[in-house]
Structure 1
Amino acid sequence: MSSEVKTFDVGDLRRILREGAGADENVDLEGNILDLDFEDLGYDSLARLETGGRIEREFRIKLADETLTEVATPRALIEAVNAQLRSTPTG
């Protein structure tokens, strides 16, 4: 039984954004998106909630609704997800 904590990275976020909300044709998700505002990337609060739901199901965590509506950048969301992953018991 492994005690290794899974981490969530920008690759996971890119994949989940594409699967859940699609990608704006004018935005290059493969570029350096970490500090760009989600709104500038074409993802409104509803798209972030959909993304959060997908993250919760895949990574078996629970994110506060405030986290999903208040995070402004991919970096902030990745940090919030990883903080939740570290605090969630594995088993």
Structure 2
Amino acid sequence: MFQVIWIVIVGAVLGYLAKFLLSGKQSIPAWLTVLCGMLGALIGNFLATMIGVNDTRGIDWIRHILQIGCAVVAVAAGSAAWPRIRSRD
């Protein structure tokens, strides 16, 4: 159960950090920001594993940079898709 809470917390931090790093206003709801952050963490971890930098001695800087980069891409995609999704309602 604690792992699920930790995943949500990391997703929130990455999602809001990605919104901060993107220029302009991202008009997406909080739940979508957290979901995009979680997706960024998942894809960033996958990429770090694929290139062999997922578990290193010390702080895994490359993995964290990949997670942030993937979260930025996910938030940008979510921000672009949200008006179209919302207009369907």
What's the TM-score bracket when you normalise by the shorter of the two chains?
0.3 to 0.5
Between Structure 1 and Structure 2, the one with more helix by share is 2
TM-score where L is the length of structure 1 = 0.33
- Structure 1 or 2, whichever has the larger Rg, is 2
